[in-house]
Amino acid sequence: MAVFKAPTALPGLAAATDSDLPNPPYTPTFNSLNLDYISSDQEMEPEIDEFYYMHPFDGFEKKSHFEKFVPTGGGASVPRAFSLFNDFTEFNTGTKDVPNIITGIDGHLFIGLDGLKAESNISLLVQTSEGSEKNADKDIPLLQWSYLRKHNDWAALPPLNILLDSSHSFTRSGAVQIAIPVDISSEGNTILSPKLLWLHVMAVESVSRSAAALPDLLNLRTQVIEASLRLDKGLEPIHLAAGQPASTISKLEISRSSVKKIEQPAPTFWGREAETAGLFFYQRISERLRHRDRAITAWDYEHLLLAKFADVATAKCINHTQYKIVPATELAPGFVTIAVIPDLRKRAGTSLDNPRFPKGDLDEIRDYLNLHANLFLNEPIGDHKFLQVVNPQYEHLKVDISVQFKPRLDKAFYKMKLSEDLRNFIAPWLGNPDAAPEFGRILRESAIERFVEDLHYIDFIQSIAIYKDGSLNPLPKIIRPDAAHGILTTVPQHTVTAL
């Protein structure tokens, strides 16, 4: 703000000269401008007045005050009210004559398809970022599919038209196969490009369901198939344990002119080496004779699961426990919870800081165990299921340490190195995929002190304190997980003070 002096003289002072005057005022500028107005109208002339909604993706929709619809119960048609601005949280998945407004929507995916024909099938590859869920403790939202008919008319896609969904509602990478309805059309469409045929996926939230439970979507491709390896030609299955990396397969064994290109966008999965007549054979037979293909004891649940799913490194069955309610409790009679840890050697895309299974994999494991468990576990009460498969509860430890480095060392560099060494000590699987996370593992402050003192660049430790999950109170000398499915892990950065 500028203050301009008036060229007047105060009593006892000389009058200001031209040289004492400030510069003339400049033209002001502003960064933003907000305008508001109120408009009212009693009647619109249908031949003169026109009203349009601007849509994303360069689309538009013409609106008229005289649009009418017939109520569901029948009767005379009545005018349909509309707002000045389009509300995309109220998406119409019904017909133009029977509006179907759904609230609580947080997420839309529009899929435009070129060269698609009605009454054909299309396969979509859904690639997600494993471990990218913002709130993995919530249930996933309901996904509702719709398709665009002529003249901007959205219609719900019948559930029977979804022929396959190995992505388990976009919770993991997988294929979605859809039977395209006969009345899908681009005729007269203005809200989206009329050059394409359109599908729409909508995430509907509730109190217990959140779009934050879904992983990030990396890619969406068409013309996808799942291929299986056949070992009938003397092939050496040396890659089955670890899987083939992405882009390994690039062509057909017998080329076809109708197929222009072959791509393998993701590593292979579900591979397992052939069983030999040795230790593994006798182990499997012994386990089969013990549990008899039925899940009764905790041991039965764990070994049935491990025998079926090769990418599970560790499973822990916890009886009378319910973690999917608020508050969670380990005193829930009738409930069975299985916590699982992924095998980091077989899941290249898993986050190393907090290794987790996607929701779709957890559901698949639960469905398999339900086939072998007590029938009482198969009867849910509302949204609560008696048999639950969950990820571990990762409890993050932060070390606040003051140390003296050896002479003539770069303090800035070794502060970062000490922080990284502490991360690898608290969570050994970060630097060694063979060292899987462990349930019930405890840490002692004295063990961390000894580890730091043995580092070649450390002279001595002045002080050390350990905190958990952002708490301001230091932990005791012996640190244990708070829950039966808890695992101690590390924060991304520790606090290191150089003396």
Domain ranges of the chain: 90-222, 239-274, 279-390, 393-498
Name the pLDDT band for 78 (thresholds 50, 70, 90): low
Q: Mean pLDDT of all residues in the chain? A: 81
Q: Exposure of 445 by Cβ count < 10 A (0-12 exposed, 13-18 middle, 19+ buried)?
A: middle
112 by Cβ neighbours in 10 Å (0-12 / 13-18 / 19+) ranks as: middle
Residue of 418, 444, 426 whose CA lies nearest to 352: 426
* 3 state DSSP class of 322: strand
CA proximity to 143, closest of 164, 131, 163, 157: 157
Rounded distance between C-alpha atoms, residue 485 and residue 319, angstroms: 11
Q: In this predicted structure, what is the pLDDT of residue 433?
A: 78
pLDDT at 464: 93
- Per-residue pLDDT tens over the stretch 119-151: 899 999 998 888 788 887 788 888 999 999 988
Average pLDDT rounded to a whole number, residues 430-443: 88
Residue predicted with more confidence, 438 or 208: 438
Specify the pLDDT at position 74: 54
Confidence (pLDDT) at 131 = 78
Average pLDDT over residues 476-488: 91
Residue 9 pLDDT exceeds 60: no
Task: Answer yes or no: are the C-beta atoms of 467 and 433 closer than 8 Å.
Answer: no
Q: Which of 155, 144, 152 is nearest to 193 (CA)?
A: 152
Q: In the predicted model, is pLDDT for residue 92 greater than 60?
A: no
- More confident: 12 or 228: 228
H-helix or E-strand containing 245? none
pLDDT at position 108? 85
pLDDT band at 442 (very low <50, low <70, confident <90, very high): very high
In this prediction, residue 2 carries a pLDDT of 46
Lowest-confidence pick of 93-97, 209-213, 296-300, 329-333: 93-97
Task: Kindly state the DSSP code that residue 216 receives in the 8-state scheme.
Answer: P
Give backbone dihedrals phi and psi of 52, rounded to 5 degrees, phi first.
-130, 145
The 10s digit of each residue's pLDDT in 207-229 is 778 888 888 888 898 988 888 87
**pLDDT tier for residue 101 given thresholds of 50, 70 and 90:** very low
Q: Which of 272, 195, 197 is nearest to 231 (CA)?
A: 272
pLDDT single digits (tens) 408-433: 899 999 999 999 999 999 999 998 87
How far is 248 from 265, CA to CA, in rounded Å?
9
pLDDT > 70: what percent of the chain? 80
Q: Look at the chain and count its residues.
A: 499
pLDDT at position 83: 65
Who has greater pLDDT, 4 or 455?
Answer: 455
- pLDDT above 90: residue 322: no
Alpha helices in 329-380 (DSSP H): 359-370
Does an H or E element contain 415, and which?
helix 411-426
Read off the pLDDT band of 5 (50, 70, 90).
very low
Query: For residue 100, what pLDDT is reported?
Result: 37
pLDDT at 189 over 80: yes
Q: Residue 75 is encoded by which pair of tokens?
A: 């009767």
Query: What distance lies between CA 119 and its chain's CA centroid?
Result: 32
For the ranges 48-57, 79-88, 291-300, 410-419, which has the lowest average pLDDT?
79-88
Backbone angles phi, psi at 237, to 5 degrees: -80, 55
DSSP state at residue 412 = H
Q: In angstroms, what CA-CA distances link 486 with 322, 360, 367, 480?
A: 14, 21, 24, 9
Predicted pLDDT at 479: 93
Which CATH number does 279-390 carry?
A: 3.30.300
Give the pLDDT of residue 352.
83
Residue 404: pLDDT band (50, 70, 90) is very high
Comparing 64-68, 103-107, 304-308, the range with the smallest average pLDDT is 64-68
Lowest model confidence (mean pLDDT) among 63-67, 93-97, 101-105, 270-274? 93-97
